[in-house]
Amino acid sequence: MAAGEDHERFELGDFILEGGATLRGAFLAYKTYGQLSDARDNAIVYPTWYSGRHWENEWLIGEGMALDPARYFVIVPNMLGNGLSSSASNTPPPYDRARFPHVDVRDNVRAQHKLVTERFGIERLVAVTGWSMGAGQTYQWAVSHPEMVPRILPFCGSARTSPHNIVFLEGVKAALTADAAWNYGWYDEQPSRGLRAAARVYAGWGFSQAFYLDAVFRQLGHSSLEDFLVDFWEGFFLDGRDANNLLTMLWTWQHGDIGRTPGFDGSLEKALAAIEARAIVMPAEKDLYFPPEDNAYEVRHMRSAELRVIPGVWGHFAGGGANAEDTRVIDAALRDLLAD
Amino acid sequence: MAAGEDHERFELGDFILEGGATLRGAFLAYKTYGQLSDARDNAIVYPTWYSGRHWENEWLIGEGMALDPARYFVIVPNMLGNGLSSSASNTPPPYDRARFPHVDVRDNVRAQHKLVTERFGIERLVAVTGWSMGAGQTYQWAVSHPEMVPRILPFCGSARTSPHNIVFLEGVKAALTADAAWNYGWYDEQPSRGLRAAARVYAGWGFSQAFYLDAVFRQLGHSSLEDFLVDFWEGFFLDGRDANNLLTMLWTWQHGDIGRTPGFDGSLEKALAAIEARAIVMPAEKDLYFPPEDNAYEVRHMRSAELRVIPGVWGHFAGGGANAEDTRVIDAALRDLLAD
């Protein structure tokens, strides 16, 4: 499926961001799966993740799965900055390229809320779920719109980006921007050397130590460690991904914090306690940047949340859809949540 | 203490490396602490680590400590490539700079063996110990010279560099070399942007998630997370460290594997089983690139080894000498080993 040809577009108009900039003519690219019921009571929002596009969420949607389009109306909004929704790469001057403004997680959720309520007239969702930064948006939905969100299933993500996670992302950013071709965002061609360097930095974080020790990358069709680094990782970062867009989303990620939602005095704990949704929170056992203990802390501060760890060696990418067993575990949890 | 003024020099002559190159006029820079006994039976070798210099090992040596210069003769040889021993930065043409050859862990141990036997006439050591790559050299000493090494205490290191560790180092290398100023090693001034990027990549790996969550860097005198990244990490990489030297040692690290010692058919397990030394192996509980399970595996294959985990949140830098409690734990283990 070619990028950009299989989705809908929702106009946000002059969209004022948390940071003060106005994105004129802003829009969300999104795709829906299934049919909205007449009562508009079968919708699930499933946001994208760092650099992900809607089609990269589809592994968790399907006939016979929890997110079954025969039963639910699944809305996948592309994150601002991902290259399909308003982004550095597709915004006309003067807010284009290096001038594309900072986007907060709350900006994303506000845009998605407009989509859900204005385009579809939905007043209450069935659930929100998402991987990684999608999990962060899931938490933000539950905090910003508790009356609309009865269930959440954030997986391999957190309600607030931890200091260590911020540092990991600094490494990715530093590698990308060490390439002089990046030119502070004013490049004409992608700074591919910096993108490849960022990919190699990311590689150590995305999967666990045990994943590499056991050479599990062979299951993904890679013939050697170096082949995995080149074909999977460098290929991933070169696959239609834009440097400024990656930096936009990286900023969004680093600044994710539901505690900064108005009314909570910057307190993560207060914001967690305000979540009304029933939650199943799913860290991956060996996730190196969203370690299970951070989710355990969150769950202790939530009203109705269960911690359910995804076991195994895949680390963060347990939530990426590439390992059938992990997909089964996440799907089963979604089924439990939706049955409740 | 100024670099380069407080140590001795041992000439290696025309030193043939495992990779086939001859380093003509090669030398080891080293420093000793204490007095060699008349019987030459009180020597301990304590190699340096990735980018470390002998004075950065001194925190574990001192009056009243296990490595007490009043009792032992502690030899700290600088690793080849660290800028004090033969390195890209101090070798004359034609093997200078980008042409400096690959150095294996076994080359380091062979050079150190010459120093110990030829300069000091030592036939048997009391022990070998070291942090990180120093632990790798410790293992190599025990495998290459079992008759000389009755005790080892490798801490926060491994006998073979794991695939994940190799990937982590690829990220560091990619960040450093993404800077065009690196110029494939033919720079006239240090590629400081690449060095700073490498430092930021390293930052996420050096300390644990919990270290950052608890802002333990404040104990080191850093006022904020960003201050820690700039002052500690970027400062660390800019502190007299040379890009080509860092790449030399990175190659050494990536290729560390006692199983490649002749006689073991590439088998880590066979090489571990051949170690005669009594060992206390000390991983740090939350070390992200030398995880305790890798050392546990090693210990299961050794004849007389105890696994003793350094508890706490400092991660790899538990072995760096900056945290008094970790230093106490390592020192106590050394005391136990030496009493045996």
Query: Which residue, among B183, B190, B209, would best test binding to A if mutated, counting the most A CBs under 10 Å from its CB?
Result: B209
Is the predicted pLDDT of residue B39 greater than 90, yes or no?
Answer: yes
Q: Which residues of A touch B192 (CB under 8 A)?
A: none
- Cβ separation of B178 and A170 shorter than 8 Å? no
Tokens of A275: 């979540």
- Which chain A residue's Cα is nearest to B173? A197
Tokens of A155: 């997986």
- Which distant-in-sequence residues (6+ apart) come within 8 Å of B51 by Cβ? B82, B236, B237, B241, B245, B246, B249
How do residues B272-317 score in pLDDT, each as one tens digit? 999 999 999 999 999 999 999 999 999 999 999 999 999 999 999 9
Query: Which residue, among B158, B167, B298, would best test binding to A if mutated, counting the most A CBs under 10 Å from its CB?
Result: B167
- Which chain A residue's Cα is nearest to B199? A171
Nearest to A208 by CA among A309, A312, A292, A326: A312
Distance from CA of B171 to the nearest CA of A (A): 4
Q: Which residues of A touch B209 (CB under 8 A)?
A: 162, 164-165, 288-289, 291, 293-294
Tokens of A138: 């899931």
CA–CA separation, B189 and B191 (whole Å): 6
SS3 A69: coil
How do residues B49-92 score in pLDDT, each as one tens digit? 999 999 999 999 999 999 999 999 999 999 999 999 999 999 99
Q: What is the pTM of this model?
A: 0.95
The pLDDT value recorded for residue A165 is: 98
Provide the residue type at A20 as one letter. Answer: G
Distance from CA of A166 to the nearest CA of B (A): 9
Alpha carbon A329 to its chain's center:
19
* % of chain B at pLDDT higher than 70: 99
Helix (H) or strand (E) holding B13: strand B8-16
Question: Are B182 and B309 within 8 A, CB to CB?
Answer: no
Q: Which residues of A touch B201 (CB under 8 A)?
A: 171, 174-175, 201
Is the predicted pLDDT of residue B261 greater than 60, yes or no?
Answer: yes
Residue pLDDT tens, chain A, 340 long = 444 468 999 999 999 999 999 999 999 999 999 999 999 999 999 999 999 999 999 999 999 999 999 999 999 999 999 999 999 999 999 999 999 999 999 999 999 999 999 999 999 999 999 999 999 999 999 999 999 999 999 999 999 999 999 999 999 999 999 999 999 999 999 999 999 999 999 999 999 999 999 999 999 999 999 999 999 999 999 999 999 999 999 999 999 999 999 999 999 999 999 999 999 999 999 999 999 999 999 999 999 999 999 999 999 999 999 999 999 999 999 999 999 8
SS3 A131: strand
CA–CA separation, A198 and A83 (whole Å): 18
Mean pLDDT of chain B: 97
- Cβ separation of A291 and B196 shorter than 8 Å? no
Q: Directed axis angle between helix B243-254 and helix B133-144, to 10°?
A: 50
- Cβ separation of B162 and A201 shorter than 8 Å? no
**Torsion-angle region of B13 (φ positive above 0: left; ψ -120 to 50: alpha; else: beta):** left
Distance from CA of B286 to the nearest CA of A (A): 11
Exposure pattern of A38-53 as b/e (b: 16+ CB <10 Å)? eeeebbbbbbbbbbbb
Q: Which residues of A touch B166 (CB under 8 A)?
A: 212, 225
Among A175, A177, A180, select the one facing B201 at the smallest CB separation.
A175
Query: Which residue, among B182, B201, B230, would best test binding to A if mutated, counting the most A CBs under 10 Å from its CB?
Result: B201
Tokens of A284: 């991956």
Q: What does DSSP say about strands B8-16 and B22-33: parallel, antiparallel, or unpaired?
A: antiparallel
Of the pLDDT bands very low, low, confident and very high (cuts 50, 70, 90), residue B340 is confident
Mean pLDDT over B101-118 rounds to 98
Nearest to B102 by CA among B156, B21, B41: B21
The pLDDT value recorded for residue A2 is: 46
Distance from CA of B303 to the nearest CA of A (A): 23
Provide the residue type at B221 as one letter. Answer: G
- Cβ separation of A175 and B180 shorter than 8 Å? no
- Cβ separation of A174 and B168 shorter than 8 Å? no
Is the predicted pLDDT of residue B25 greater than 80, yes or no?
Answer: yes
Interface predicted TM-score (ipTM) of this complex, two decimals = 0.93
- Cβ separation of A204 and B179 shorter than 8 Å? no
Distance from CA of A35 to the nearest CA of B (A): 43
CA–CA separation, B56 and B160 (whole Å): 24
Among A163, A181, A194, select the one facing B215 at the smallest CB separation.
A163
CA–CA separation, A230 and A325 (whole Å): 25
Among B164, B175, B204, select the one facing A212 at the smallest CB separation.
B164
How do residues B127-148 score in pLDDT, each as one tens digit? 999 999 999 999 999 999 999 9
Q: Which residues of B touch A173 (CB under 8 A)?
A: 200
- Cβ separation of B163 and A215 shorter than 8 Å? yes
Of the pLDDT bands very low, low, confident and very high (cuts 50, 70, 90), residue B1 is very low
* % of chain B at pLDDT higher than 90: 98
Q: What is the DSSP string of A228-275?
A: IIIIIIIHHHHSS--HHHHHHHHHHHHT-BGGGSTTSTT-HHHHHHT-
Tokens of A173: 């950013």
Tokens of A276: 């009304």
- Cβ separation of B163 and A294 shorter than 8 Å? no
The pLDDT value recorded for residue A340 is: 84
Distance from CA of B96 to the nearest CA of A (A): 25
Q: Residue B233 gets which letter from DSSP?
A: I
Is residue A171 exposed (0-12), middle (13-18) or buried (19+ Cβ within 10 Å)? buried
How do residues B192-244 score in pLDDT, each as one tens digit? 999 999 999 999 999 999 999 999 999 999 999 999 999 999 999 999 999 99
Among A179, A197, A213, select the one facing B162 at the smallest CB separation.
A213
Q: Which residue has the tokens 């000390």?
A: B282
Among B163, B179, B294, select the one facing A225 at the smallest CB separation.
B163
Question: Are A68 and A151 within 8 A, CB to CB?
Answer: no
Mean pLDDT over B170-184 rounds to 98
User: Residue ranges of the alpha helices (H) in B96-189?
Assistant: 105-114, 133-144, 163-177
The pLDDT value recorded for residue A192 is: 97
The pLDDT value recorded for residue A1 is: 40
CA–CA separation, A242 and A141 (whole Å): 27
The beta-strand segments (E) located in B195-300 are 278-281
